[in-house]
Amino acid sequence: MAACGDEAALAPGGDTTIEDRTSQAYRLPAPNLDADALALHLDGDVAFEATFVTAPAPVNGGLGPVYNHTSCIGCHARDGRGLPQIGTGPTSQSLVRVSLAEGTPAVPGGAVPVPGVGAQLQDHAIFGAALEGTPTLSWTDVDGAYGDGAAYQLRAPQLAIAWSEEPEGAVMTSLRQPPPVFGLGLLEAIDEPTLTALADPDDRDGDGISGRVNYVWDAQLGRAMPGRFGLKANTPTLRQQAAAAYVNDMGVTNPMFPEDDGAIEIDAARLDATAFYTATLAVPARAAANAAANRGEQLFDQFRCTGCHVPTLVTGDSPIAAVAHQTIQPFTDLLVHDMGDGLADGRPDFGADGREWRTSPLWGIGLAETVLVGARYLHDGRARTLDEAILWHGGEAEAARERFRRASSSDRAALVAFLMTL
Ligand code: HEC
Ligand code: HEC
């Protein structure tokens, strides 16, 4: 791993890195954008922050009839993560994906939609429209102990859905908290051979860590492509992620996902600007490390956290010059891994099964609580602290978690101190 003071290590986004560790750190344009790219980025910023209202408003009309929130930024707070809050209120930021175990998928290899609901529960409706259902979230305590005997308590989510109309067939559910949206153009520019080289589906090297590319349906190309975005790497491109968010999260039809009769509520220019915005947000520079954080960085390697949270990758070609050919430190392999029973949602998403999740990028994670007071971790926001996030790791990550759980309290603190410099 890079030694302390190494410039590449301190600039995790390559030339897109920005020296800012304030609450604004996730929402700044990459400093290496040229004037045209910056102008498009700023158009996208306006689009990302726009609040949609009920039709027929001329500019931001088209909300609903059912939706989860009224703006991108409403869920991705300051372009970071959202909170594990769901239901009819205005603070609802997470969402529930739903599907049936049997039936015909909406697209090849995808989820089987729940009749009348689709593959996502929209828990809001405009005036006069029928609500699909109301989810409620509660938490149960899970007790555990570190190797040195010190007790800890985790919490597991309990999701219940009061359907407006009870669906036929057993519904599989997956609760998802919004992840941050900076640095994503770099992740889009990692070429497919790099991902397949990281994958080890049959664990040939025998380290207990496999990792698979999740091949998902690309709506633009009309074929399966490597998934990169979403918590199960269930989406291939930022354009598709934005288009799906418009239509599913806000009920705003667009060129990729129009009305049945072809009608759209936002045009291609606006969709493209939104996607470009999420592709060109700067990555915050790492904080200077003290002795504990340097020790933590060594432990991160020794515990084999790096088996999935791969520190250094190099991006390939990209239509966006600012993100092409950059040496970056995202701390992810973009692959999906079996994370054990504790984290399993039991709901497949394309090639990812009910136990698999995409390795979360860890860049910027030390700023999560600076950007959003009360920020939570893991796909459903169950972890209140970084310690808790690590303690939930199971499956392919069980050995790494055990090394952490059995470590001395000072080594555990050092590992977390390292994460806080990211
Ligand atoms: C209701 C809250 C909500 C709204 C509104 C919302 N998102 Fe998201 N976003 C999420 C959640 C939850 C995920 C994770 C989805 C998954 O795993 O399937 C996500 C994932 C993403 C990702 C992938 C990030 C990554 O690391 O893979 C991007 C990019 C994104 N959203 C952009 C947008 C854009 C652009 C908009 C507005 C057009 C938007 N989102 C609106 C909740 C929201
Ligand atoms: C087998 C692969 C694997 C290994 C090994 C692994 N992780 Fe993870 N990590 C993941 C995946 C996958 C997730 C997302 C899980 C989820 O959201 O349910 C994750 C999530 C996290 C998160 C939460 C990120 C967020 O944005 O909420 C932290 C922190 C983290 N890992 C730290 C570590 C540390 C520290 C180690 C070593 C002790 C480690 N991980 C080892 C795969 C791994």
Concatenated DSSP letters of 6-49: -HHHH-TTGGGEE---STTTTSSB-TT--HHHHHHHHHHHHHHH
Question: How much is the pLDDT for 10?
Answer: 79
Q: How far is the CA of 238 from the centre of ligand 1 (A)?
A: 10
For the CA of 82, the closest atom of ligand 1 is 42
Give how far the C-alpha of residue 150 lies from the chain's centroid of Cα atoms, to the nearest Å. Answer: 32
Ligand 2, atom nearest to 180 Cα: 26
Angstrom distances, CA of residue 409 to CA of 87, 247, 291, 417: 39, 47, 15, 12
Cβ of 271 closer than 6 Å to ligand 2, yes or no, is no
Strand 223-226 with 17-18, pairing: unpaired
pLDDT the model gives residue 84:
96
pLDDT digits (tens, 9 = 90+) for 202-245: 999 999 999 999 999 999 999 999 999 999 999 999 999 999 99
pLDDT for residue 59: 84
Contact 338, 212 (CB under 8 A): no
Choosing from 154, 176, 203, 305 the residue with most ligand 2 atoms within 8 A of its CB, the one to mutate for a pocket test is: 305
Read off the amino acid at residue 261. D
Q: How many residues does the chain have?
A: 422
| pLDDT score of 18 more than 90 | yes
Q: Is the pLDDT of residue 67 over 70?
A: yes
Asked if the model's pLDDT at residue 96 lies above 50, the reply is yes
pLDDT-derived band at 55, boundaries 50, 70, 90: confident
pLDDT given at position 5 = 47
| Rounded-to-integer distance, Cα 119 and Cα 117, Å | 7
pLDDT above 70 (res 86): yes
pLDDT at residue 4, rounded to an integer: 46
Q: Which of 43, 132, 172, 241 to mutate to test the pocket of ligand 1 (most atoms within 8 A of CB)?
A: 241
Judge whether 240 and 220 are in contact, CB under 8 Å. yes
SS3 68: coil
* Nearest residue to 394 via CA among 348, 333, 337: 337
Q: Residue 359: its pLDDT value, please?
A: 98
Assign 87 a pLDDT band (cuts: 50, 70, 90): confident
Ligand with an atom nearest the CA of residue 332 = 2
What is the Cβ-side half-sphere exposure of residue 16, based on CA atoms within 13 angstroms? 35
Residue 255 has pLDDT above 70, yes or no: yes
HSE (side-chain half, CA atoms, 13 Å) at 338:
13
* Mean pLDDT confidence for 265-272: 96
pLDDT at 2 exceeding the cut of 50: no
Residue 187 confidence (pLDDT): 98
Give dist(CA 273, CA 50) in Å, integer.
Answer: 13
User: Closest ligand to 178 CA?
Assistant: 1
Q: Are strands 133-145 and 313-314 parallel, antiparallel or unpaired?
A: unpaired
CB crowding 270-306: b at 16 or more within 10 Å, else e: bbbbbbbbbbbbbbbbbeebeebbbbbbebbeebbbb
* Burial of 401 per CB tally in 10 Å (0-12, 13-18, 19+): buried
Would the pLDDT of 1 be above 50?
no
The four Cα atoms 402, 404, 406, 410 give a dihedral, to 10 degrees, of 180
Q: How confident is the model at residue 7 (pLDDT cuts 50, 70, 90)?
A: low
Distance of CA 70 to the CA centre of its chain: 19
Instruction: Note the pLDDT of residue 88.
Output: 80
Q: Tell me the mean pLDDT in the region 274-279.
A: 98
Whether pLDDT at 8 is above 50: yes
Those residues with Cβ within 8 angstroms of residue 353's Cβ, 6 or more apart along the chain or in another chain: 338
Q: Parallel, antiparallel, or unpaired for β 336-338 and 356-358?
A: antiparallel
Q: How confident is the model at residue 91 (pLDDT cuts 50, 70, 90)?
A: confident
Please, which residues have CB within 8 angstroms of residue 110's CB and are 6 or more apart in sequence? 119, 216, 217, 350
Rounded to an integer, the average pLDDT of 183-187 is 98
Q: Give the span between the Cα atoms of 168 and 334, in whole angstroms.
A: 35
Q: 290-327: per-residue pLDDT in tens?
A: 999 999 999 999 999 999 999 999 999 999 999 999 99
Question: For all residues of the chain together, what is the average pLDDT?
Answer: 95
Q: Given a cut of 70, is residue 393 above it in pLDDT?
A: yes
**Of the residues 304, 308, 411, 412, which should be mutated to test ligand 2's pocket, given the most ligand atoms within 8 Å of the CB?**
308
Q: Which atom of ligand 1 is nearest to the CA of 379?
A: 17
Distance 393 CA to ligand 2 centre (A): 6
Task: Burial-class residue 84 by CB neighbours within 10 Å (0-12, 13-18, 19+).
Answer: buried
Residues 274 and 7 sit within 8 Å (Cβ to Cβ): no
In which residue are the tokens 């515990």 written?
303
For residue 243, what are its two tokens? 């288009």
What are the C-alpha distances in Å from 360 to residues 187, 212, 219? 12, 14, 24
What is the average per-residue pLDDT within 31-51? 98
